[in-house]
Structure formats: structure tokens, C-alpha cells
């Protein structure tokens, strides 16, 4: 059974760029309109929009459009050059294009488009030189899903992603808050007001909390005080995993945890905390966890 898409679009695009070989700036104008299964692409410079796809690529695109029940008409300044997709081409044109889903326009229009493909006859527009993104990739509509490889956020060389805490004291709202930065050691840190604390903060318990690094390369905050509250993103739990953006509140001290994205694992496979529904699979253990410095 042939799948049929129904589209609706009315787009206009304009491009200003310089041509090759010292040409003056050129202006390209075009429109893309769609209604139902009919799509019309009209432009005064086909090369600027379509580039120079191979004949095999054009035939493949026409066959794919036909399977979706779409008809795409491509027009240049002089008129329709080709209609592709769910169309029936005359026998003579099939012998030329080797596809029944490519119906050519008037021969004069086609010949002009063929001549325009030659750089010597038509200075093809160089979009990269103008700092613009590459031309619209063909086809203009998605034809089939592209499989993507799921990867992890384990650093291949065993780096730690520069985990750090940004901290400020909010005890006096009238005083400008200065933000300090504390780099987390690989083995973690004890936070408190005692003299021997790795991160010493006034106004909290002697041993307020501890941040440890697990075998799965996650940084976890463990609350150690029952006198002063310890929360992470508003939650008061005895043990919470940290990810970039986690807000830690220790008494009047406000801390923000940040880790470079390549090493900030999250769930699943690099996702951020929150917003996901259902059961999430976890990443496998890092393959280099036994290396020195991991």
C-alpha cells in the first residue's frame, strides 16, 4: 500500500551573496508551496537551491517521492524543468531519464538547466564563501528514518570533565554576593565549618555534607548533618547524584554543580535529570575505569 502525505506550506526565501570569479553580489529569490500531495519549488537560480545532484540521486529521490504519493514540481526562471514523484512520464522521456517518475518540462527549459550546470557557462554561486549554511539538502521532505547510533558519555581518555562548584553566601541580602569557584578533587570533598574540612563554609555544621565519586564516575552528595538542612534542587534526601545545574543549599550557602558535558553522564546515555517518564536504562560501566587517574 502506497503511503500518502498531505502537506501545506507557503514559504519565501531570499539569499544575497557574491558570485565566483569576481562576480558582483547576486540576489536569489524563490518560493516553496505545498497543498495536499503537490509541492512546487520555484527559484530564479536552481543551482543555489538544488546544487548539482547526480542523475542517480535524482532518480532515487523521484522513486522515494512516488512511494509517499508526493508530486514535486521544480521550476526555474523560464518555467517548469522537471516534475518528480507520483507522476507518469512519457515513454520517450523514460528512455532519457531511466525513470517513470521523472516528467521533464519543455525541452528548452531542460536544456537551459543542463547548460547552467556547467561552471564555464554559469558562475555557480558559492554559498560557503558568503558565510551562509550549505544549500537545502535534497529531498525537501523527509523520506525515511535515519538510524542513529546510541553512544555514552564516558570520556575515552579517562578525563573527569572539570567538576566544580560555584558558591555564594546568601546570609545578608543587602551585601553583594561574590561567587567563588571550587574545583572538586578526584576523591571528593568533605564540606563543613571545621578547620580540617576540604571545603570550609562558615555557618554550617562541623561536617555538613560530603561529595564522593562512585565507581560509575558519578559525583554524589551525602548529607551528614541533622541540624542544618542540606537540599539538592529543593529535595532533602540523604544521598543525591549531582549533574550540571544541580542547586545545592547548605544553610545560607548556595552552590551550583557544573561538569563538562562529555563527562556529565545523566540518564539515559547523557540525558539530563528530570522530565523523562518511564524506566530509563543506565550506561554500562566505563571501559577505562581501571586506568590510573580515572
pLDDT digits (tens, 9 = 90+) for 81-139: 888 888 888 888 888 888 888 888 776 655 555 555 444 444 444 444 444 455 555 55
List the one residue out of 194, 220, 190, 221 whose CA is nearest residue 205: 194
CA 34 – CA 140 distance, rounded (Å): 11
- Report the pLDDT value the prediction gives residue 102, as an integer from 0 to 100: 87
Contact 89, 97 (CB under 8 A): yes
Instruction: Record the cell numbers describing residue 286, joined without a space.
Output: 566505563
Q: Which of 211, 256, 205 is nearest to 233 (CA)?
A: 256
**Residue 163 vs residue 217, higher pLDDT:** 163
Return the higher-pLDDT residue of 291 and 283.
283
Pairwise CA distance, residues 45 & 29, whole Å: 8
Please report the pLDDT score of residue 205 as a whole number: 94
Query: What's the pLDDT band for 10 if we cut at 50, 70, 90?
Result: confident
Across residues 145-173, what is the average pLDDT?
Answer: 75
Q: Compare 78 and 248 and report the one with higher pLDDT.
A: 248
Per-residue confidence (pLDDT) for residue 260, from 0 to 100: 86
Residue 169 backbone dihedrals phi, psi, to 5 degrees: -95, 125
Half-sphere exposure of 268 (CA within 13 A, CB side): 11
Domains with residue ranges and CATH for the chain: 7-130 (no CATH), 164-263 (2.60.200.20)
Question: Residue 236: is it exposed, middle or buried by C-beta count within 10 angstroms (0-12/13-18/19+)?
Answer: exposed
CA angle 189, 194, 195 (to 5 degrees): 90
Amino acid at each position: 500500500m502506497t503511503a500518502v502525505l498531505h502537506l501545506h506550506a507557503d514559504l519565501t526565501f531570499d539569499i544575497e551573496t557574491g558570485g565566483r570569479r569576481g562576480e558582483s553580489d547576486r540576489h536569489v529569490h524563490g518560493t516553496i508551496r505545498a497543498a495536499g500531495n503537490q509541492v512546487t519549488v520555484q527559484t530564479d537560480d536552481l543551482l543555489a537551491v538544488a546544487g548539482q545532484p547526480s542523475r542517480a540521486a535524482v532518480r532515487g529521490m523521484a522513486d522515494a517521492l512516488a512511494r509517499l504519493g508526493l508530486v514535486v514540481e521544480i521550476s526555474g526562471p523560464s518555467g517548469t524543468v522537471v516534475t518528480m514523484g507520483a507522476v507518469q512520464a512519457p515513454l520517450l522521456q523514460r528512455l532519457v531519464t531511466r525513470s517513470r517518475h521523472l516528467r521533464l518540462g519543455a525541452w528548452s527549459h531542460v536544456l537551459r538547466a543542463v547548460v547552467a550546470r556547467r561552471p564555464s557557462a554559469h558562475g555557480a554561486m558559492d554559498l560557503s564563501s558568503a558565510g551562509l549554511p550549505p544549500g537545502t539538502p535534497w529531498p525537501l521532505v523527509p523520506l525515511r528514518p535515519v538510524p542513529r547510533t546510541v553512544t555514552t558519555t564516558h570520556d575515552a581518555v579517562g578525563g573527569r570533565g572539570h567538576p566544580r562548584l560555584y558558591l555564594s553566601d546568601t546570609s545578608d541580602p543587602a551585601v553583594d554576593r561574590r561567587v567563588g569557584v571550587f574545583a572538586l578533587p578526584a576523591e571528593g570533598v568533605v564540606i563543613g565549618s571545621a578547620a580540617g574540612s576540604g571545603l570550609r563554609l562558615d555557618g554550617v555544621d562541623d561536617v555538613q555534607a560530603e561529595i564522593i565519586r562512585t565507581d560509575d564516575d558519578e559525583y554524589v552528595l551525602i548529607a551528614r548533618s541533622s541540624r542544618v538542612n542540606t537540599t539538592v534542587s529543593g529535595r532533602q534526601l540523604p544521598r543525591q547524584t549531582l549533574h550540571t545545574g544541580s542547586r545545592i543549599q547548605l544553610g545560607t550557602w548556595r552552590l551550583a554543580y557544573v561538569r563538562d558535558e562529555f563527562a556529565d553522564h545523566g540518564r539515559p546515555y547523557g540525558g539530563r535529570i528530570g522530565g523523562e517518564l518511564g524506566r530509563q536504562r543506565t550506561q554500562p560501566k566505563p571501559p577505562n575505569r581501571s586506568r590510573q587517574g580515572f
